Structure 1
Amino acid sequence: MTVDGALARVIRSASDRAAAAGSERCDLCAALVADGHPHLYDTGAAELRCVCRPCSVLFADDGAGRYRLVPRRRLRLPAVDTAVLGVPVGLVFFVPHRDGTVTAQGPSPAGAMRWEVDAAAWQRMAERCPPLASVAPEVEALLVNTVRGLDEHWIVPVDDCYRMVALVRREWRGLSGGGRVWPAVERFFAELTERS
């Protein structure tokens, strides 16, 4: 066996072990990424990308390029009257965009339902709750849960929102969600912690 052949076997073996372990890889350089790794928002594809810490440093300055680093900030807000946005569901997140539009997305057993909300109503709401004016377009969201008597309002990174969508999809049973989804959503919100 040649040195090149042995090296290829070792690399392939390490790659196979990583794949078997379910490890995720950086979407830019293919390095293994740890739990809690950063994400990039790909504005061209409107998708999140997993990224390793060294690659994330390349996007630390909020440029106007294709990729935007998803911030880590979480900020709990006092109750915000989101009824002015005309959204009929109690578990939803609102994402402002650079073009001034705002979308609402609610988790469902099929994934996230998405619709556009009145941008002027969002502006009026942000005037009454100044932290909302600081939400970074595309990469942060206002996450709201008023289901089952809860009154949770958070500014969070969009990856938190998509984790919540995945949780609802995974736990939903039957037509109304079953007995697992709502306790899981309550745990999700209970485990959110503020960070800057």
Structure 2
Amino acid sequence: MTTEGALARLIRSSADRTAAAEREVCDLCAAPVADEHAHLYDTGQQEVRCVCGPCSVLFADAAAGDGQYRLVPRRRVRLPKVDTAVLGVPVGLVFFVPRADGTVTAEGPSPAGAMRWEVDAAAWQQLAETCPQLATVEPEVEALLVNTVHGLDEHWIVPVDDCYRMIAVVRREWRGMSGGGRIWPALEQFFEDLTERP
């Protein structure tokens, strides 16, 4: 009887630890975070980090933390068709991130993660002249997200964490050499779920 009780407690304790380990926590203070939570962009590591509400307040000013951590904004703006041909990127699912040093990178998802290459900064400026909203994209933490595959024509200014979520969708759903039958419906759903917010 005692052994069974101890075994049950051990199993419950192990399950509780597993559930706790699966919950997301703040990368700064380790407090649990809600499903919808803020993110910081670590400029040194070029990574997005989860952050709780109280810690996010510390980085509301872009100069906080000597600029190593930048609070990722929440705004999403759907744009009219943007002719990105001037950027010379031959793929239809890509996001463009202006950098603090004036460069611009293009990143596209693949089954192995993100592919990244540099875009001509002058071409980006030329595109921003035709679409003035692009001049408002915050370096490092916002992106122009483009999807023109399978007949779609989506152009958005989004937080970079949305772009990384898209990459995760591709990695999770890709099958075989061509992506399989699950990838395209999953991407369509990802774009359908994007909603504009200030």
TM-score normalized with structure 1 length: 0.90
Distance in 1 (CA, whole Å) between partners of 2:67 and 2:156 is 27
SS of structure 2 residue aligned to 1:32: coil
Deviation at 1:32, TM superposition (A): 0.2
Q: 105, 109, 120: which is aligned to 2:122?
A: 120
Distance in 2 (CA, whole Å) between partners of 1:152 and 1:33 is 31
Matches within 5 A, 1:121-160: 121-160=123-162
Q: Are residues 13 and 52 of structure 1, via their aligned partners in 2, closer, same or farther at CA, if it must alter by over 3 Å?
A: farther
Q: Residues 122-169 of structure 1, C-alpha deviation per residue, up to 9 Å, x if partnerless?
A: 000001100000000000000000001110000000000000000000
Matches within 5 A, 1:156-195: 156-195=158-197
Q: Which residue of 1 aligns with 2:10?
A: none
Q: Residues 27-80 of structure 1, C-alpha deviation per residue, up to 9 Å, x if partnerless?
A: 000000011110000011111110001100000112152100000000000000
SS of structure 1 residue aligned to 2:67: coil
Q: 57, 68, 74: which is aligned to 1:66?
A: 68
Q: Which residue of 2 aligns with 1:16?
A: 17
Q: Which residue of 2 aligns with 1:8?
A: none
Q: Which residue of 1 aligns with 2:43?
A: 43
Where does the alignment leave 5 or more consecutive residues of structure 1 unmatched?
1-11
SS of structure 1 residue aligned to 2:161: helix
TM-score normalized with structure 2 length: 0.90
Q: Are residues 149 and 23 of structure 1, via their aligned partners in 2, closer, same or farther at CA, if it must alter by over 3 Å?
A: same
Q: Which residue of 2 aligns with 1:78?
A: 80
For the aligned residue pairs, the C-alpha RMSD in angstroms reads 1.5
AA in 2 matched with 1:181:
I
Deviation at 1:91, TM superposition (A): 0.3
Q: Which residue of 2 aligns with 1:7?
A: none
SS of structure 1 residue aligned to 2:105: strand
Where does the alignment leave 5 or more consecutive residues of structure 2 unmatched?
1-12
Structure 1 segments (4+ residues) deviating >4 Å: 12-15
